Amino acid sequence: MRVFKFGGASVKDADGIKNVYDVLQKVGYEDVILVVSAMGKTTNALEVVIKNYFDKSAELNSSVQEIKKYHNQILLDLFEDEKHEVFTAVKAQFSELEYFLAHNKSPNYNFVYDQVVSFGELISTTILSHYMNYRGIQTQWLDVRNFIKTNANYRDAEVDWETTQQLISKNVKRKILNITQGFLGADENNFTTTLGREGSDYTAGIFAYCLNAESVTIWKDVPGVMNADPRYFENASLLNQISYREAIELAFYGATVIHPKTLQPLQKKEIPLYVKSFINPLLKGTCVSKGVDLEPQYPCFIVKREQLLISLSSIDFSFIMEENISEIFGLFHEFKIKVNLIQNSAISFSVCVEDKFGNFNELNAILSKKFKVDYNENVTLYTIRHFTENAAETVEANKEVLLKQVSRETMQIVTKEIN
């Protein structure tokens, strides 16, 4: 069996969905399971709905209507006959969402988040499945919540592998085209859970693992895994083959092509992962598989923007030791600030962090009581795997280098743009 994952960008409009059909025609669809994300930016739009719901905002209704309109337009573009049963099916899903918003009593934000945000995937797979049938490809629509069981840690649920394995291997039919939702699961009480943003790749990994699949293919709008983001680097090249380890490292440093959790289950069973273009599905793309000599032939660049470089030094020139460091990390964790790089010397300690939730000012007030705090806002963190001198020069050109760290395979450079 093969597992295919189509992300939001690949099904963002009617043409995207028609293209999924074309891809399947070209690469075959017997004995396949399609894992599909919400269409386009629907998950973000549902996050706005959730925010409006908790803020008791007057915009709540209009934010739902907008999502309805978006999907309805796609339906109109795909199906000639407005009496097609898909219209009723999607309408019923929106009614269910509205019913939930009108009747929910739970004040738990994360719980509500998962119940609401899941409609993105439920609706996209409903549309896709009807469309494939409409074009003559018979499909089996699976509610993933009957297969992937998790704990009740809403928004970042952990998979119960044993139960999931049993349910998938027993109940997923082979020799047909299955379609199911990425990103979702269900807890013991059958409430919907989610696996973390961008979690659909992981869903594909879970199915592949439990089905002992032949391969996983992630269909993307790029030709495969590149050695650099073509938006920021000229001459970005495709990596034909990389090892699981290299892919895990790239994902760790922030390459966004593959969700980091996805690789572990695949590596355990040595199931190859392909990253391919949904525009040119017959091209080879990138293969991530077992092997020691699959390291990339060129340096790989990963860029993280809008970082904060913080240096802490002790006020009394005493050493910053384990005790301080563990306290500092405890605080970063508490304030949900992600640490991307660490460097320490005797009396100072520098970190490059990402303050996604805008908590730094609050944290700074606490840190400043114990340390002298210096920081640079809006810096960029470059990571170069398999660096060369030339690669470092490219990154450093016309920038001020604030910090540089080199290990055997990896160079990290924190820079500030010179205006």
- Measure Cα distances from 174 to 2, 33, 125, 170 in Å: 10, 9, 19, 11
**Is there binding between residue 116 and ligand ASP (CB under 6 A)?**
no
**Contact positions with ligand ASP (CB under 6 A) in 287-326:** none
Span interacting with ligand ASP, options 36-44, 275-283, 318-326, 352-360, rule CB under 6 A: 36-44
**Is there binding between residue 40 and Mg ion (CB under 5 A)?**
no
Residue 119, binding choice from Mg ion, ligand ASP, none, Cβ under 5 to 8 Å by partner class: none
Which positions make up the binding site for substrate?
A: 43, 121
# residues contacting ligand ASP (CB under 6 A):
12
Taking the complex as a whole, the smallest distance from the CB of residue 195 to ligand ASP amounts, in Å, to: 8
Residue 185, binding choice from Mg ion, ligand ASP, none, Cβ under 5 to 8 Å by partner class: none
**Contact positions with ligand ASP (CB under 6 A) in 190-219:** 197-200
Residue 223, binding choice from Mg ion, ligand ASP, none, Cβ under 5 to 8 Å by partner class: none
**Contact positions with Mg ion (CB under 5 A) in 2-31:** 7-8
Q: Which residues pair with 353 in a beta bridge?
A: 308, 339
Q: Which is nearer to ligand ASP, 194 or 313 (CB)?
A: 194
Residue 296, binding choice from Mg ion, ligand ASP, none, Cβ under 5 to 8 Å by partner class: none
- At CA 188, angle to CA 183 and CA 189, rounded to 5? 100
Here the tokens at position 6 are: 């189509």
Which positions make up the binding site?
A: 5-8, 43, 121, 231
**Is there binding between residue 7 and ligand ASP (CB under 6 A)?**
yes
CA 364, 367, 370, 371 torsion-angle sign: negative
Q: Are residues 35 and 213 in contact, defined by beta-carbon separation less than 8 angstroms?
A: no
* Calpha distance 142→250 (Å, rounded): 32
DSSP letters spanning 339-371: EEEEEE-SSEEEEEEE-TTS-HHHHHHHHTTTE
Chosen residue from 40, 120, 185, 285 binding ligand ASP by CB under 6 A: 120
The continuous run of DSSP H or E covering 47 comes out as helix 42-54
The continuous run of DSSP H or E covering 125 comes out as helix 119-134
* Calpha distance 292→297 (Å, rounded): 13
Footprint on this chain of ligand ASP (rule: CB under 6 A): 7-8, 37-38, 43, 120, 182-183, 197-200
Footprint on this chain of Mg ion (rule: CB under 5 A): 7-8, 37
